[in-house]
Amino acid sequence: MLSTDIKQESMVKKIENIVTILRSERPIFKKYLDYEKIVQGLVTVFQENLSFEEFNNVSEESLKNRCSKMMSVELLATIGDDFTPEEMAIFEDAIKRK
């Protein structure tokens, strides 16, 4: 049985590789998402929701898809961070009309 530290390191390495691939395929992730923060966030999500064995059984393509979706949601959460109050009012008004 692997120790917890080795399991943790294995999971982190796998997620780091996926995040690196996604950042190269989608420059917007590289531009707006902090690498360390996103990796740690993904590790936390997977640790809380999957056992180590379940995580290891997730295919690379499925893991890439899951990470991409979570990174996209994280990116969406940053909308408006740099808006002026006037821009935010316009944005909120546009959302209300939809």
Residues 2-33 have pLDDT tens digits of 677 888 899 999 999 999 999 999 999 999 99
Model-level pTM? 0.80
Spatial contact of 84 and 91, defined as CB atoms under 8 Å apart: no
Hey, what are 83's tokens? 């808006």
Hey, what are 95's tokens? 């959302």
Spatial contact of 58 and 33, defined as CB atoms under 8 Å apart: no
Task: Tell me the CA distances in angstroms from 68 to 15, 60, 65, 81, one per residue in order.
Answer: 11, 12, 5, 21
